[in-house]
Every structure is written in structure tokens, then in C-alpha cells.
Amino acid sequence: MNTPNAALPTHVAISTHAGSGFMWAARDTMAMVWRNLTVVRRVPQLLVFALVQPLIFVFMFRYVFGGAIPSGAAGLPYVDYLMPGIFVQTVTFGAINTAVGLAEDKNKGLLERLKSLPMSRSAVLGGRVLADTTRNVFVVTMMLFVGFLVGFNTHTNALKVAAGVGLMVLFGFAICWIFALIGLSVTNGEAAQAAAFPLLAPLTFASNAFVPPDTMPDWLRWWAERQPLSITVRGVRALMLGTEPMDYVWGSIAWSLAITAVLAPLAVRRFRNG
Amino acid sequence: MTETAILAEDLRKTYGDVVAVDRISLAVPRATVLGLLGANGAGKTTMVRMLTTVLKPDSGKGTVNGFDVQHQQQAVRRSIGLAGQYAAVDENLTGRENLVLVGRLTHIGKAAARQRADELLDQFHLTDAGNRPVRTYSGGMRRRLDLGAALVTHPPVLFLDEPTTGLDPASRLDLWEVIETLVADGTTVLLTTQYLEEADRLADNIVVIDKGLIAAEGTAKQLKSRLGDTVIEFELASPQIAVVAAELLGGTVAAGTIVRLVMSNGPSTLREALNRLSSADVVPAHVALREPTLDDVFLTLTGNSGANS
């Protein structure tokens, strides 16, 4: 018996849907975000470990060193000064995930397959960075509650606190692009991890995140007062505590946009040619 | 549609001082299999990468399914599937999720991607494992899934980069049968392999590459007959004696203590060879006469014993 609906002949390619380049770039990016977040759901330990490190920092600075550190925010307890620094450090460290994820995909040959597909070239990196940004929103929200548990108080309104979260997540997004470039430039996840720390240390520790830079030697203070992470921490303090001028909010946004504008095209170019 | 599905003209790629591919030209007629044969580092994978748009050639031209690999990349990508040792699947996703992801990224639509994933899981006997993360799969299952991922769009041209490296014999046979079915249905395949047996079984034409250059090309039969009709192998007492014997006979040391001679007139050459050995007081432990294999071709052409090195 002949069935009229025989299977498609296998040598005819399925016609692909038409659509604008931008629409496909957006859909491909969402598909990659879905993939990256599915991996997070499938290996939840990674998320738990992502919280362990900031928790240790909260414990150390709130309870071990905290008593000996003068609060940099006039009239406010040290914990209020500290927590915005912890938040920004957390989103910055979250960007390591971008480097490790891409390096592992490269090492395992997954990037090779993706490059052979008719997908948008920017979607592999865009999907990675957006997934890591989503993860950052989750982790920072958890850390905000941890902050409240250890006595952190905001001194503005809910809208400004939310804007503060937005500001640091935007900063994290920009840092992810730096780490995307690193991830594509090394051979595997361990190398990405190793390459990350020398970059993160001067950014997070030589800053105003944990202590006021007043007591640092001049050369270090020069850096600690001007570098983008410090500007972002002051922006978050402006929004959550009201102790800093709002200029720092705009300064942080400018830094984040500038970093993204330079690093995102570099990373995409590296992906295309690497 | 052109009758040549894959065409490479003087493709070249260097990494710094290292020449990975040094001018290689080849043509693969539609619905045939080309076996690209070479040792590790011969330039096989670099060829595949250039023809699949993953890597930009330094010079030369590549055409796949009628599209230029440098100037019509998206059209090439819509025509091909890539599978093998370097094209991977995501370990943390399930088999089904991997296939759906590839479907979504090739723009066939979400519903079609799901349906195609089910078809492929069924075709590759992975339906039961479809909802398990790939990290729980065996090596053979991974390769089947990997090949399935390359077939999501029914591509007319398939690149298989060492598709069976590291597989057990049963899984290898299994995969060979799948590839044969695809070719019978009209798919063009470029296959790289270190296994001469694989090229012998699957490939209509074979290109042997060595150090980025073509060392020989033709059908398996042509390549074998180029060498002669008969292979004589002498097994000697020690590798040192084998070296001496190879020099005496003008043969090659195949593996440690084996010296190999390829001849068109077996019996008379055998007598001559035994005479020379006995005049030098070399007594072989074992002598064998047989038909040439692709392995012999490979060894003679490249000085490497390809498969088992």
C-alpha cells in the first residue's frame, strides 16, 4: 500500500523561516539564554557556590573586621556602608561565569558547532552575557535579603533601592563583556578562572567597596577613588543610602555603557575570527 | 543545482609559522562520500573548519552546495551539517534539548524543532534516553546524538570529522550503516578519518593528506593498485635487525620488527628477497604474502602507519 504522505526526501533542506536579521538575532539570543539558564537549573550547585563567596565576605567584613573599620558614611553604621560594596563585588565576580562558560564551550567543541549553524554571530555571546546577568539579578536579590538579615538598612525609598540594584546589574553586564573576551582567549575553564583573579583583585579590593580610601597611600587612593567599580559603589550608595551625590549614578552608567561599547564588539570579533 | 557539492580550490591556512593546510584542492560529486585520510595534524580538521565556515582561509576558494564559504556563509551554513570529534553536544542538556536547541538556532521554528528532535531520537534509538542529561550517555550514544544534531535540517551536505574515533566496534558499525543510508538518500559526505578501514568501506573517493598537502587521491582500489599487487611482510628477531633488513630490501619498517615490501611480481621478488637476507645472514621469523590494504598505501605515502600509530 502506498501512503500519499511519504516522508520528506532527506536531500531537500527544510526551508527556513524568513525574517529580519535583527529579529533572528533576538530569537537566537533568547535560545542561548534558555540554554545557559537550563544548565544553571540542571547544576544548581553552581548557584549555591555563587552565594558562598559573598556570604564569606559579609561574615568577614561585617563581623571580623567590621568593628575596627570606621564607617565611610557619616552617621551611618559600617554595615550600611559595607553592603553596597558587597553587592557590587558580587555582580563583578559573577562575570567570571561568563569567561568560564565560554572557555568550556570552546574547549568542548560546542562553539565549533554553533559557528557552523546559520545563527546570529552575536547571539552566542549575547546569550551568555544575558544569562549571566539574569543570574546576577537572582544572586544580588538573595544578597539583599542577606544584608537585611545582618542589619543592613536602606535610607531612601523602594524605587531608589530597585534603581540601585539596576545600576549594579548594569555594571555587571558591562564587566561580563570583558570576561567574554577573556573566555574566548583562553583554552579552558580553569585557565579562565586563573586569568580572572588578577583582573578582579585591583578592581574589587583597591576600591571603596570595603573601606574608605582615605587611609590608602596616595597612588592607591588615586586609583581607588576613580576606577569604575568605586564609582558604581558610590552610585549604589547614593541610591540606597543617600550619602553620595547622584552624579556617581550617572558616572557609573557612563562607565558601563562605555565598557560595553568597546568590549562587546571586540568580543564578537574575537568569536568570529577565533 | 551543481553536480559538485563540495569544491576546494587551493585552500590554505597557516597559524603563525605553522602551515596547517598548504594548498589543497578537491571536488566531491553530489551524493558521494569523500574520505579525507591523514594522521593527526595532517590538516584534516582545518580543511573541515574552512569548508564549514568555522575558520577563514588565508587564501583559496571553497564552495559548498554552490555557495562560497567566505562570501555566502549563511547560505553555506543552511546547507550543511557538522558532526564529529570537535563538534559537540551540551553535556548538561538532555538529548532532546540539544536537538531542539540546534533546531531553534537553525530557524526551523520551535514546533518544528520539537517534532524533528523526536524523529531524530527515534531514528538514532535514543528515545528512551531523550530526557536524560547527555553526561549520562555512553560514548556511542553521544556520537549518535551528535550526528543527529547535524541532521536537524536534512542538510544536503554533511561534514563528519572523525565520526567514529574512540568508538567500540559495534557502535562504529552502527554509525557506518547510518552514514550509508544517508548517502543512498542523496546526501554528500566529506568524512575525515584516521581509520583506513572506514575510508575503504564508506568512501567513493579518497584523498590522502600529509603535512597540509595532498599525497595521493583516487578510489580505494586505485590507490591500492598504484602500489602493486602483493605485499610481503617479514617479521624479524629485533627492531635493529628490521632496520638492517629494510635497507637490504628497499622496504619500509612497518611496526617494530615488521619489514614491508610492496611488489607487482610477488613470487620472484620473494625469492630474490630471501636470497638477499640469507646472504646477509638474516633469518626472518615469519614471512607473509597478502593483498595490499589502504594501510600500506598510507604507510608508503606518508611514512606513518596511520591507523594504529
Q: Where are the domains of chain B?
A: 4-218, 226-302
Record the cell numbers describing residue B209, joined without a space: 593528506
Q: What is the pLDDT, as a whole number, of residue B280?
A: 79
ipTM of this predicted structure: 0.84
Q: Tell me how many residue pairs between chain A and chain B have CB atoms under 8 A apart.
A: 108
* pLDDT reading at A274 higher than 60: yes
One-character DSSP codes across A14-81 = PPPPP--HHHHHHHHHHHHHHHHHHHHHH-THHHHHHHHHHHHHHHIIIIISGGGSPPSSTTS-HHHH
Report, as an integer, the average pLDDT of B114-126.
94
Record the cell numbers describing residue B232, joined without a space: 610481503
Torsion angle, CA of A144/A147/A152/A158, rounded to 10 degrees? 10
- Reported as a pLDDT band with limits 50, 70 and 90, residue A8 is very low
Record the cell numbers describing residue A91, joined without a space: 555582580
Q: What is the pLDDT, as a whole number, of residue A228?
A: 97
- Reported as a pLDDT band with limits 50, 70 and 90, residue B58 is very high
Contacts of B8 (CB under 8 A, 6+ apart): B24, B25, B26, B27, B47, B50, B51, B60, B61, B62, B63
Cα-based angle B301, B267, B226 (whole degrees, multiple of 5): 25
Q: What is the pLDDT, as a whole number, of residue A3?
A: 37
In this complex, the residue of B82, B86, B154 whose CB is nearest that of residue A10 is: B154
- B54/A116 touch (CB, cutoff 8 Å), yes or no: yes
* pLDDT reading at B298 higher than 80: no
Rounded to an integer, what distance in angstroms lies between the CA atom of residue A187 and that of residue A109? 11
pLDDT per position as a tens digit, B29-54: 999 999 998 888 889 999 999 999 99
Q: What is the pLDDT, as a whole number, of residue B13?
A: 94
- A116/B52 touch (CB, cutoff 8 Å), yes or no: yes
- Reported as a pLDDT band with limits 50, 70 and 90, residue A19 is low
| CATH 3.30.70 is held by the domain B226-302 | yes
- Reported as a pLDDT band with limits 50, 70 and 90, residue B271 is confident
The chain B residue lying nearest A113, using CA atoms, is B87
Question: Measured between beta carbons, which residues in chain A are less than 8 angstroms from residue B86?
Answer: 109, 112
pLDDT per position as a tens digit, B74-106: 999 999 999 977 658 999 999 999 999 999 999
- Reported as a pLDDT band with limits 50, 70 and 90, residue B309 is very low
- B77/A35 touch (CB, cutoff 8 Å), yes or no: no
Q: What is the pLDDT, as a whole number, of residue B266?
A: 65
Q: What is the pLDDT, as a whole number, of residue B86?
A: 60
pLDDT per position as a tens digit, A220-255: 999 999 999 999 999 999 999 999 999 999 999 999
Question: Measured between beta carbons, which residues in chain A are less than 8 angstroms from residue B184?
Answer: none
* pLDDT reading at B255 higher than 80: no
* pLDDT reading at A73 higher than 80: no
Closest C-alpha among B87, B73, B211, B53 to residue B161: B87
Helix, strand, coil shares, percent, chain A, to 5: 75, 0, 25
Q: Residue A77, Cα to own-chain centre: how many angstroms?
A: 28
Local structure of residue B309 (DSSP, 8 states): -
Q: Find the helix packing angle between A189-204 and A158-185, rounded to 10°.
A: 130
* pLDDT reading at A142 higher than 80: yes
pLDDT per position as a tens digit, A26-59: 999 999 999 999 999 988 888 888 899 899 999 9
Compute φ and ψ for B221, nearest 5 degrees. -65, -45
Beta strands B33-37 and B80-84, pairing class: unpaired
Closest C-alpha among B14, B92, B101, B19 to residue B56: B14
Rounded to an integer, what distance in angstroms lies between the CA atom of residue B39 and that of residue A1? 50
Report, as an integer, the average pLDDT of B21-31.
94
Record the cell numbers describing residue B200, joined without a space: 575503504
Q: What is the mean pLDDT of chain B?
A: 87
- B153/A12 touch (CB, cutoff 8 Å), yes or no: no
Residues of A engaging B, defined by a Cβ cutoff of 8 Å: 8-14, 16-17, 19, 24, 27-28, 31-32, 34-35, 38-39, 42-43, 108-110, 112-119, 123, 273
Residue B123: CB atoms within 10 A of its CB come to 15
Identity of the amino acid at B256: G
Contact B229, B200 (CB under 8 A): no
Q: With b meaning 16 or more CB within 10 Å and e meaning fewer, what string describes A65-84?
A: ebeeeebbbeebebbbbbbb
pLDDT per position as a tens digit, B137-194: 988 899 899 999 999 999 999 999 998 887 888 888 988 999 999 999 999 999 998 8
The more confident residue out of A41 and A18 is: A41
Contacts of A218 (CB under 8 A, 6+ apart): none
What share of chain A has pLDDT > 90, as a percent? Answer: 77
Contact B154, A13 (CB under 8 A): yes
Q: What is the pLDDT, as a whole number, of residue B2?
A: 52
* pLDDT reading at B126 higher than 90: yes
Residue B228: CB atoms within 10 A of its CB come to 18
* pLDDT reading at B308 higher than 60: no
Report, as an integer, the average pLDDT of A8-12.
39
Contact B267, B230 (CB under 8 A): no
Report, as an integer, the average pLDDT of A107-114.
90
> Residue A215 burial (CB < 10 Å; 0-12/13-18/19+)?
exposed
Question: Measured between beta carbons, which residues in chain A are less than 8 angstroms from residue B105?
Answer: 28, 31-32, 114, 117-119, 123
- Reported as a pLDDT band with limits 50, 70 and 90, residue A6 is very low
Question: A65 to each of A53, A62, A82, A147, B17, how far by Cα in Å?
Answer: 16, 7, 11, 16, 54
Contact A58, A146 (CB under 8 A): yes
Q: What is the pLDDT, as a whole number, of residue A1?
A: 38
What share of chain B has pLDDT > 70, as a percent? Answer: 94
Question: Measured between beta carbons, which residues in chain A are less than 8 angstroms from residue B116?
Answer: 14
Question: Measured between beta carbons, which residues in chain A are less than 8 angstroms from residue B107?
Answer: 16-17, 19, 24, 27, 118-119
Question: Measured between beta carbons, which residues in chain A are less than 8 angstroms from residue B186?
Answer: 9-11
User: Domain spanning B4-218 has what CATH number?
Assistant: 3.40.50.300
Q: Do domains B4-218 and B226-302 have the same CATH topology?
A: no
The top-scoring range by mean pLDDT among A61-65, A164-168, A209-213, B144-148 is A164-168
pLDDT per position as a tens digit, A153-163: 999 999 999 99
Rounded to an integer, what distance in angstroms lies between the CA atom of residue B40 and that of residue B42? 6
* H/E run at residue B233: strand B230-235
Which one of B45, B92, B106, B107 makes the best mutation probe of the A interface by having the most chain A beta carbons within 10 Å?
A: B107
- Reported as a pLDDT band with limits 50, 70 and 90, residue B254 is confident
Closest C-alpha among A177, A170, A143 to residue A250: A170
